[in-house]
Chains A and B, each alone.
Chain A
């Protein structure tokens, strides 16, 4: 979505009084989004593409209105599986990250395993999860969890591993135990890395839940889109994509907000130098 592109060209406001009063940076996400839809609409008109290939945004919004009830219900289901999987990933990722960052031996032992595991496409795991738990909510939650916990682990472990040796020396010379250093320095220090990783993880969690719903579920946006596709209802497929984008942006914004609230010092301190 173009809303991600902010702080760009328009920020250089022209000197005209009226134009100067508008906050272009604030407005830019909305303008870019509208521009994308307008371009898309024009493209469809000019190329005269069939709605079963590329429906115009007007057609997609029409589908949103027409199928509002199933879209709403399935969006909530997807949001539910995604956030649940994400929540498990946050807890497990934080715990495993601290464990990995705690000891060099654990780090050395687990890291290749995690890299290998991360390299496996998670869609390949869905059939296994279906064998274990049947189709539906649980595989979607677990896929969201499996795909999104890796960046959290890596970031927390990185934060712990990059403690300045001087800080450690100062504290160890005072008789600090490893646990003291972890609690007083390591964990607070890794928090900016942790909260930063949540933005990546939440978008990955959507990928996981939707993949699983598409392959093995009777609910959720993934399932809705795959059944719409089998009926050649392409506008509804695009309406589902739109709903996913909206959910993704909303959750990303929430994570960015939490990050700013929890670790504002990290942003301000890097700005002061």
Chain B
């Protein structure tokens, strides 16, 4: 399997030579079409990892390669979604979802002439996440869970090869979260997009991912790599299986000892 993302022995330090070392000796590889999850104690540099992969930060040493090219600037083949949906309140949900198309070079030139086609695509995405007919609403008229669904649509509208999710479901209630797990699972299955999910929720990671990377406390590096053995498609019931719970418990133990080691 060719690697879409390959991080090799990367150091990233904030704020000059005397600054905080956020990650050190970080190495991980994510294959094309794979669903990877990154878990770890808080402050382990997960957000730094997001920024390194998307090219928002360039590491001081080591190499980040995305889609066969070394990252030296924002890569623009990624979609991002954060815990905070950051919908723009003066735009309708549909216009929010179309926003990336006004930015990405490939699309911004075509947008005006082919608006109909893009709007159809956005409406199709809205339907996929269960928001059919909500495009004309403003984001502040939607609930938190609905905003997060719309946020996923915005992250996917420009057909990114890589989707980076930074705790996208952290602020939602348990039922909405499980619903959205299924949404993201189905999106991954249908679109063949590569996903890197950064999360604190070990059940979320185990349910969704093909591979889980456990990171150490700051300065972050990958302590352990797990392959999640459960067959796809996974139903929510998989979470009640013994193997699932064992895996969650094992991850929990590893993170607990990583915290102590710090």
Chain A interface residues (CB < 8 Å from chain B): 164, 166-167, 169-176, 180, 184-185, 188-189, 191, 263, 265-266, 268-269, 272-273
Contacts and interface: CB of A to CB of B under 8 A. Distances in A.
A180 B56 CA distance: 16
A55 to B, nearest CB: 50
B239 to A, nearest CB: 29
A185 B105 CA distance: 18
B104 to A, nearest CB: 5
Nearest to A271: B140
A173 B75 CA distance: 6
Interface in B142-167: 154-155, 158, 164
B80 A170 contact: yes
A120 to B, nearest CB: 37
Interface string B82-121: 1010101110000000011011110000000000000000
B70 interface: no
Interface residues of B, number: 30
A6 B107 CA distance: 51
A129 B138 CA distance: 49
A174 B99 CA distance: 10
B105 A172 contact: no
Contact of B104 (A174, A189, A273): A174
By Cβ-Cβ distance, the 7 closest A-B pairs, closest first, are A269-B140, A175-B76, A173-B54, A269-B89, A167-B86, A174-B103, A272-B140
A272 B74 contact: no
A44 to B, nearest CB: 51
Given A174-B74, A185-B88, A265-B138, A169 B80 contact: yes
Contacts of B129: none
Nearest to B73: A175
A113 B170 CA distance: 44
Interface in B162-220: 164
B141 interface: yes
B41 interface: no
Contacts of B74: 172-176
Contacts of B86: 164, 166-167, 170
Contacts of B59: none
21 contacts: A164-B86, A169-B54, A169-B56, A169-B80, A170-B155, A171-B103, A173-B74, A173-B75, A174-B76, A174-B78, A174-B103, A175-B103, A175-B104, A175-B105, A189-B90, A263-B90, A266-B89, A268-B140, A269-B139, A269-B140, A272-B140
B158 A174 contact: yes
Given A184-B103, A272-B141, A173 B78 contact: yes
A170 B99 CA distance: 10
Contacts of A172: 56, 74
Contact of B90 (A169, A180, A265, A272): A265
B72 to A, nearest CB: 13
Contacts of A174: 74, 76, 78, 100, 103-104, 158
